[in-house]
Structure 1
Amino acid sequence: MTSSVRPTRSWPSSRDAPATPKPMIPSSRVLTARSTRVNKTMAEQWLSFQKFAVWGAGVSGVAAANLLARRGKDVILSDIKPLDALAEVQERLHPKVTLVGGENVLEGREVIVVSPGMKPSHPDFTRARELGAHVISEVELAWEASKARWIGITGTDGKTTTTSLVGQMLQQADVEHVVAGNIGLPLCAVVEELSEDAVVVAELSAFQLWSCHNLQPAAATVTNVAADHLDYFESFGEYADAKLRIFELQKGQGVAVVPMRDRLVRRWFKEPKGQRMVGFSNRPDDVSELDEAVWFEDDQGWAREEDGVDLCWLESFEDTELFGAHNQLNLACAAALARSVGVSWEHITEAALSFEPLAHRMEYVGEGNEVAFVDDSKATNAHASLAGMQNLDAGFVVIAGGVDKGLDLKGWAKYVAREAGAVVLLGEIAERMEEALKEAGATKVHRAASMEDAVEQAFKLARPGSTVVLSPACSSFDMFESYAQRGRVFQAAVEALISSLP
């Protein structure tokens, strides 16, 4: 088939499995890494209280309530849903947890463990503080209940891939660990049994971080900060502060892995903070002045450690199943984080070569009549959408739209108008997207009533040799349960279309 993806990789990769490269790693440096263990300066503070309210009966709320009950606390789990809608939740609760429906219970509670779905501006938080209650994240409880070292990963884009890569690297090195948090597995459900030699790889959202106080990860990163979730936070500044909070929480200890291509995050580290700083980039010039860094140069993975000697740990990015500049950044970041807790470069390389890309992240779906279909449903903001589309040759057809989070669409629309052959829009934001695209000069903008309709229209608009990409630049909750369900519906529609072709 004719490839529509840069660089030379086709959809899907048809090459033979690559031979394991032989990176230039001095054997004497394979296992060296400075300790990243930190002291829990405020350990057990929250768990010294007795009366807790957990607001929100989602998976993290249930996990938090059960952990507290196991610790002998007086716990009320409440949800604004009526009690008769919470029968399934009751079945998953520790018998000593009291479940209340129809309200957020506050009176008589010392600590409120908050659902990440509740905005910081919610009036119930003001009421809680007026009554002297502490408002904390489920992450805080998991941190205090854990003996293990933590790696904290947040950012607007790339955090799930980076988190998964770090987990793969620890697995390759046979390090006791768990991958949890915003990635889907509640931290409170899995941290208590880990030893002090284990590592918790925690994907953390801004929704969780704003209500963290004591969390102190041994290694932390903010993959990037771009406009997102302005329907949740009152301003971009508030959102950015929630992300950067992960570095503040380190209290000057441990390792901070810093994206040198992100001006906002890089600027935050202009003055020394106390942590050991490791920069990462996909451009060597970004890290040339740093004492420690991980980067890509001419498709090779490189690192500079404390002795100042540069070493090559990956001979060719093309030998992995990842592609695109954004995934070079994710891999470099993950390598720096894994290395910070002592994983050898050999194991990091082996993990990079064996890693299978995650679903709905520029995932190849199929091909029909020389048109490739790619699922990037995880691109839930304009910045993430651009990161994926920039790996496609001009002339692609994009399916976009979803929930309007109030994000600026000008840059996204300008790129799409210049590079895309056509656009098919759906969801509640379609009208605003169409206005932005036409203002940017786009001429082929179409509307669809459903995902199936969008796939059919996009296929008719695509030229042979081009790509149809689902790149929503929006959340999914107007039409779908999640970005994953949106991706599955897209893939099913593509498969039905391809099977119907002569």
Structure 2
Amino acid sequence: MNFDYKKVLIMGYAKSGLAVEEILKHIHVEYQIYDKSHRINGGGYLNKLSKKKILEFDLIVISPAISIFNKYVSFAEKSGIKVVGEMEFGYWFTSSPVIAITGTNGKTTTTSLTQKIVSTSFSSSAYGNIGTPLCEAYGLTLDYLVCEVSSFQLESTYSFSPYISVILNIAEDHLDRHKTFENYIRCKLGLIKNSTEKSLIVLNADDELLMKRTQNVKAKIYYFSKFKKVKGVYLSGDSIIVNMSSKRYEILKLSDIENLKSVIEDVLASIVVGVLLKIEPDKIIESIKSFELSPHRMSLVLEKNGVKYIDDSKSTNVHSTLNALSVSNKNTILMLGGSDKNLNFDEIFLKYSDKLTHVVAFGSARKKVLKSAKHCGFENILVCKNFYEGVKTAYGLASKNDTVLLSPSCASFDEFESYAKRGEQFEKIIKELAHAKN
């Protein structure tokens, strides 16, 4: 591309910032780096930032962790300085077509499965929120780049225009970051704002909000659905049906992939992408049958004395917990809580109170969970100050045929650095308690 910027500021020096830096080094553009959590010595690094300093740059590249509401970002934009995210910046430097996947839930699973399917027939790799910055694709020639794209990344993309865009669902999340649900919706729909008549879009036909907000999109749209016949891929009883390009056929049976029932929407979306790329059905089927869910997504950590202990720590919003409860049994002890993201828990109690024998509320969101339970008339709730006490309480409540489900609907940052650390601790505590009872 024709890069006209003379001096660049990299804001955020984690993995994405390092990847941006490598490109700037290669194209010989002057840059400096600012990260308030890292004090780094050297001429290229800033340990302080000011509005006066901001005016020295004509481009700022921000990491996903930095909000567009950041005071320096806001000042830069008001001053006419271009501000873009790492994903937008990386997109400028690739000529490979992008398959981009977003949604409130299921992004990582769908990206991983889609990449597995695509790689059976094309050179491809996964980038974005899944862990590898898109900037690391610089200099590579691949048939496709499969990108997981979060709302944090989408709020600072402008020219990003995938060949295939997949939107899995939209539900309330990250309101602590985006301020309003409408802002969050706009970020998610930003994935398809640059779509053209040559673009391909894959949407969840069961998501009413998504259907309503995509009625006037200029692109070829295909759908996936658990409940109705669509142009795309859908469930019909035990059959997964492909209905595309004037062909209709069963590609797989749901009963053949029991381990993926909790993420069936992600599977359907991935099949649509595979069929659009004309990948042989046998390769799609084999990819799905051999696919394993990532840790902390409906993972069975222990089954003892007729009780199942399930780690779904990756469920950090209400929509994801609702999905988990939809496949859980009718004797579920649910652990809810953690770091509050300004979400409403009412739907959990209104929709699944018949499945819940008890709810254990823990962490900084515990009072809000309790308030929601009372508001919905749910009485079997216990409140624990921290995660450890919550796990002990849930374990003590469980009896034969129960399921203890950690599906918190909240982030982990009040006690843990990540949902993964929280899930690991859940498994550790459960196994220690089980061993102590022997």
With the length of structure 2 as denominator, give the TM-score of the two structures. 0.95
Q: Distance in 2 between matches of 1:63 and 1:204?
A: 17
Residue 344 of structure 1 and its aligned partner are, at CA, apart by 2.1
**What is the match of residue 319 of structure 1?**
256
Note the C-alpha offset of 1:72.
1.1
Contact 2:88 2:157 survives alignment (8 Å): yes
What's 1:330 paired with?
266
1:18 maps to what in 2? none
Deviation of 1:447 after TM superposition, in Å, equals 2.3
One-letter amino acid of the counterpart of residue 322, structure 1: N
Alignment partner of 2:344: what SS?
coil
Q: Counterparts of 1:459 and 1:219 in 2: how far apart (Å)?
A: 45
Bigger shift: residues 426-435 or 248-257: 248-257
Q: What is the SS of the residue equivalent to 1:242?
A: helix
Q: State the alpha-carbon separation in 1 of the partners of residues 226 and 353 from structure 2.
A: 27
C-alpha separation between the residues in 2 aligned to 1:235 and 1:127? 21
**Counterparts in 2 of 1:68-83, with a 5 A limit?**
68-81=24-37, 83=39
Contact 1:81 1:103 in 2 (8 A): no
Q: Check whether the contact 1:360–1:375 (CA below 8 A) recurs between aligned residues.
A: yes
Match of 1:371 in 2: 307
**Any conservation in 1 of the 2:154–2:187 contact (CA below 8 Å)?**
yes
Alignment of 1:276-291 (within 5 A): 276-285=220-229, 287=230
Instruction: Tell me which amino acid in the other structure corresponds to 2:21.
Output: A
- SS of the residue aligned with 2:8? strand
Task: Name the residue aligned to 1:163.
Answer: 111
Aligned equivalents of 2:185 and 2:220: distance in 1? 22
Q: Residue by residue, what CA displacement relative to the aligned partner does 1:30-89 show, whole Å, maximum 9, x if unpaired?
A: xxxxxxxxxxxxxx36x3322111111121112112222222111111112352xx47xx
Say whether residues 1:257 and 2:202 are aligned partners. yes
Rounded Cα–Cα distance in structure 1 between residues aligned with 2:271 and 2:279:
9
* 1:101 and 2:47 are equivalent in the alignment: yes
Q: For residue 396 of structure 1, what is the aligned residue in structure 2?
A: 332
Q: Secondary structure at the match of 1:80?
A: coil
Number of aligned positions between the proteins: 436
Give the deviation of 1:480 after TM superposition.
Answer: 0.6
Partner of 2:343, secondary structure, is coil
Of residues 356, 365, 376 in structure 2, which corresponds to 1:440?
376
Q: 2:291 aligns with which of 346, 351, 355?
A: 355
Structure 1 position 416, deviation (Å): 4.7
- Aligned match of 1:302 in 236, 241, 244? 241
| 3-state SS of paired residue (2:249) | strand
Q: Following superposition of structure 1 onto structure 2, how do residues 96-495 of structure 1 map, counting pairs within 5 Å?
A: 98-103=44-49, 106-173=54-121, 175-189=122-136, 191-195=137-141, 197-271=142-216, 273-285=217-229, 287=230, 292-306=231-245, 308-314=246-252, 316-320=253-257, 322-324=259-261, 326-495=262-431
Q: 1:412 to 1:103 in 2, by over 3 A?
A: farther
Output the CA distance in 1 between the equivalents of 2:64 and 2:175: 15
CA offset at residue 396 of structure 1? 0.6
- Cα distance in 2 between the residues matched to 1:283 and 1:117: 37
Q: Secondary structure at the match of 2:250?
A: strand
Distance 1:177 1:262 in 2: 29
Q: Which of 41, 44, 66 is equivalent to 2:22? A: 66
SS at match of 2:396: helix
Letter in 2 for 1:280: F
In the TM superposition, residue 472 of structure 1 has moved relative to its aligned partner by 0.3
Q: 1:57 is matched by which residue type in structure 2?
A: Y
Q: Which of 366-375 and 337-346 deviates more?
A: 337-346
Q: Displacement of 1:154 after TM fit? A: 0.5
How large is the Cα RMSD of the aligned pairs? Answer: 1.8
Percent identical across equivalent pairs? 27
Give the SS at the match of 1:238: helix
**Could you say what secondary structure the match of 1:346 adopts?**
helix
CA distance in 2, matches of 1:416, 1:101: 50
1:106 & 1:66 partners in 2: Cα distance?
Answer: 21
Q: Partners of 1:460 and 1:213 in 2: how far apart? A: 52
C-alpha spacing 1:342/1:102, structure 2 compared with 1 (3 Å): farther
Instruction: Report the Cα offset of residue 328 of structure 1.
Output: 1.4
Where does residue 57 of structure 1 map in the other structure?
13
Deviates more, 1:130-139 or 1:255-264: 130-139
Answer whether contact 2:151 2:188 (CA < 8 A) is retained: yes
- Which ranges in structure 2 are unaligned for 5 or more consecutive residues? none
Distance 2:226 2:390 in 1: 35
AA matched with 2:239: Q
Cα 1:245/1:252, change in 2 over 3 Å: farther
Q: Which amino acid aligns with 2:361?
A: L
8 Å CA contact retained: 2:366, 2:385: no
Where 2:309 maps in the other structure, the secondary structure is strand
Tell me the CA shift for residue 318 of structure 1: 2.4
Q: Is the 8 A contact 1:296 1:302 kept in 2?
A: yes
Task: Tell me if the contact between 1:320 and 1:354 (Cα under 8 Å) persists in the aligned partners.
Answer: no
Using the TM superposition, give the Cα deviation of residue 119 of structure 1 relative to its aligned residue in structure 2, in angstroms: 2.3
1:177–1:194 CA contact under 8 A, matched in 2: no
Q: Secondary structure at the match of 1:458?
A: helix
TM-score of the aligned structures, taking structure 1 as reference length: 0.83
Deviations 1:181-209 (A, max 9, x none): 111111112x12332x5211100011111
1:82–1:363 Cα change, 3 Å = closer
Q: What code does the residue aligned with 1:304 have? A: N
In the superposition, relative to structure 1, how do residues 318 and 172 fare at CA in structure 2: closer, same or farther (>3 Å)?
Answer: farther
Q: Distance in 2 between matches of 1:369 and 1:450?
A: 26
- For residues 130 and 266 of structure 1, the distance between their equivalents in structure 2, rounded to whole angstroms, comes to 34
